[in-house]
């Protein structure tokens, strides 16, 4: 065991003996771990690192940009010079998302209406 590992292990054991880990929030509850079983084992560490750094896959980046463009389009008048440019960019992102096999239903606003209806039913 490396010197740093031994040092850390000693401090952890000391803290346990002093009871510093007792009554922590979530103590005794199962850990909620991300399901990354669909990612090959040799890539999991890299994916976890990128996820923790806030990096998204290209498809999720497209989705994020599409949501931002929808918000912009909702705030811009139809006769504004940038409206057509934003609309074309959104169409391109929609095509990329469909090619990636992702649903583009969220672009139509149907999801929010269906979600609100489901919440109202309950």
Per residue in 32-88, pLDDT tens? Answer: 777 777 778 888 888 888 888 988 778 778 888 888 888 888 888 888 888 889 889
Q: Which helix (H) or strand (E) holds 107?
A: none
User: Model pTM greater than 0.85?
Assistant: no
Q: What number is the average pLDDT over the span 27-35?
A: 78
CA distance 88 to 91: 5
Torsion, Cα of 60, 62, 64, 66 (10° steps): -150
What totals of helices (H) and strands (E) does the chain contain, helices first?
5, 0
100 contacts: CB under 8 Å, gap ≥ 6: 58, 59, 62
Q: What are the start-end ranges of the H helices in 19-57?
A: 41-52
Q: What number is the average pLDDT over the span 18-24?
A: 88
Angle ∠(67,69,75) on CA atoms, nearest 5: 110
Q: What number is the average pLDDT over the span 2-21?
A: 90
Q: Is 76 helix (H, G, I), strand (E, B) or coil?
A: coil
């Amino acid at each position: 065991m490396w010197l740093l590992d031994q040092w850390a292990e000693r401090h952890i054991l000391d803290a346990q003996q002093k009871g510093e880990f007792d009554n922590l929030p979530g103590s005794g509850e199962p850990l909620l771990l991300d399901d990354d079983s669909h990612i090959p084992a040799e890539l999991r560490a890299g994916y976890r690192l990128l996820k923790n750094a806030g990096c998204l896959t290209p498809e999720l980046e497209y989705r994020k940009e599409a949501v931002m463009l929808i918000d912009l389009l909702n705030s811009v008048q139809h006769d504004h010079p940038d409206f057509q440019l934003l609309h074309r960019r959104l169409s391109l992102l929609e095509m990329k998302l469909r090619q990636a096999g992702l649903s583009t239903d969220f672009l139509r606003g149907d999801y929010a209406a269906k979600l609100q209806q489901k919440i109202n039913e309950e």
